[in-house]
Amino acid sequence: MSKLLVTGAAGFIGSNFVHYTLKNKPEHQITVLDALTYAGNKDSLKSVLDKITFVKGDITDSQLVDKLVSQNDIVVHFAAESHNDNSLIDQWPFINTNIIGTYTILQAIRKHNKRLHHISTDEVYGDLELDDPHKFTESTPYNPSSPYSSAKASSDMLVRAWVRSFGIQATISNCSNNYGPFQHIEKMIPRQITNLLTGERLKLYGAGQNVRDWIHVDDHNSAVHTILEKGKIGETYLIGANGEKSNLEVFNLILKLMGKDASWLDHVKDRQGHDMRYAIDSSKLRTELGWAPEYTNFETGLRDTIEWYKNNQWWWEPLKRQVEEKYRKQGQ
């Protein structure tokens, strides 16, 4: 049994991590630290609030972080500003949360000699050409493109430096694009699903050739538990499920699964500096730690996700108008 401090668990992946842990690893005790920014929603944990301790607070608050880290065994650090489009408009929250927030956690980990698992992204490696035969591996050089991914890359570098210089017990994982329940409707898949559910058309950036490597959020979280249990301190593990798809392919699948034709698709303004392709080689995690994904059929996982958004309108509907208003102003 471990006492887990989970940062950012009112967000998409963190809330799923809490549900996954309670279901599959019930021996752990969970404390959540989340600032409930625009991206956090305590309702994502509504059904389990009596089984966890929820603390509303900021990861840059050093006194609070120090106290919570001292009271727990392991920090699983999800909290971040996570949306690329937002990082093109206002950079400060990304610098503050992703860099200063991670620094604040590292100092507490070092002081109290606790274990950290730092959650990061494949975007730190930059992007690949569509016809590049290679995928990202743990030894691919860092080359981030956006303010979001460069702030995440900075946080990874801090973790690596604290491991090397101060000998803290930390592991890092860099995962590809997640999909599943409780994802904020600003993100590509839930935005399109909820567009169709509200009678709006799909909004595809540019020509839609860009490729993302999709993984179900439960597979990401099972990999995180594998790393917590078997990962080697100081190591980085890439998490991916061989789910490469162009955005256009995903849009067409959403149209098909929701019974609409191509006339429901709009091409809108492309993202500035838009990364072309991400692709993960997760051999290290699979061969050294014995992990494998369970959701190997993207269409099935996407169908379940569509059902979830259909059945949980209460969760996303209050945000929809405001999110679309913001995109409209950006021409997207």
123 is catalytic: yes
122 is catalytic: yes
Q: Is 188 exposed, middle or buried (0-12, 13-18, 19+ CB in 10 A)?
A: buried
- What does 181 bind: ligand DAU, ligand NAD, none (CB cut-off 5 to 8 Å by kind)? none
What x/- string results for residues 278 through 317 when contact with ligand DAU is judged by CB under 6 A? x---------------------------------------
- Name which of 72 and 82 has its Cβ closer to ligand DAU: 82
Closest by CA position to 32, among listed 61, 75, 87, 63: 75
205 is catalytic: no
Task: Rule CB under 6 A: say whether 79 interacts with ligand DAU.
Answer: no
Closest by CA position to 294, among listed 216, 178, 214: 216
The phi and psi torsions of 142 (rounded to 5 degrees) equal -65, 140
CB of 200 to ligand DAU, least distance (A): 11
Copy the structure tokens of residue 264. 């429901």
Catalytic residue selected from 20, 125, 148, 309? 148
CB of 302 to ligand NAD, least distance (A): 14
What x/- string results for residues 209 through 248 when contact with ligand DAU is judged by CB under 6 A? -x-x----------------------------------x-
List of residues 6+ apart from 208 with CB closer than 8 A: 246, 247, 248, 251, 267
Tell me how far apart the alpha carbons of residues 321 and 129 are, in angstroms, rounded to a whole number.
36
- What does 78 bind: ligand DAU, ligand NAD, none (CB cut-off 5 to 8 Å by kind)? ligand NAD
Within positions 49 to 78, which residues make up the interface with ligand NAD, using CB under 6 A?
58-60, 78
Closest by CA position to 80, among listed 100, 64, 62, 65: 100
Task: Rule CB under 6 A: say whether 150 interacts with ligand DAU.
Answer: no
Report whether 294 contacts 220 (CB < 8 A). no
Total residues found in the chain within this entry = 332
Among 123, 156, 218, 244, binds ligand DAU (CB under 6 A): 123
What x/- string results for residues 102 through 141 when contact with ligand NAD is judged by CB under 6 A? -----------------x-x--------------------
CB of 245 to ligand NAD, least distance (A): 14
The secondary structure element, H or E, covering residue 286 is: helix 283-289
Closest by CA position to 223, among listed 305, 119, 149: 119
Tell me how far apart the alpha carbons of residues 6 and 159 are, in angstroms, rounded to a whole number.
17
Stretch that binds ligand DAU, among 65-73, 137-145, 186-194, 281-289 (CB under 6 A): 186-194
CB of 217 to ligand DAU, least distance (A): 11
List of residues 6+ apart from 163 with CB closer than 8 A: 170, 233, 234
The residues carrying an active-site annotation are: 122-123, 148
**Chain contacts with ligand NAD (rule: CB under 6 A):** 7-8, 10-14, 34-37, 39-40, 58-60, 78-82, 97, 101, 119, 121, 152, 175, 177-178, 184
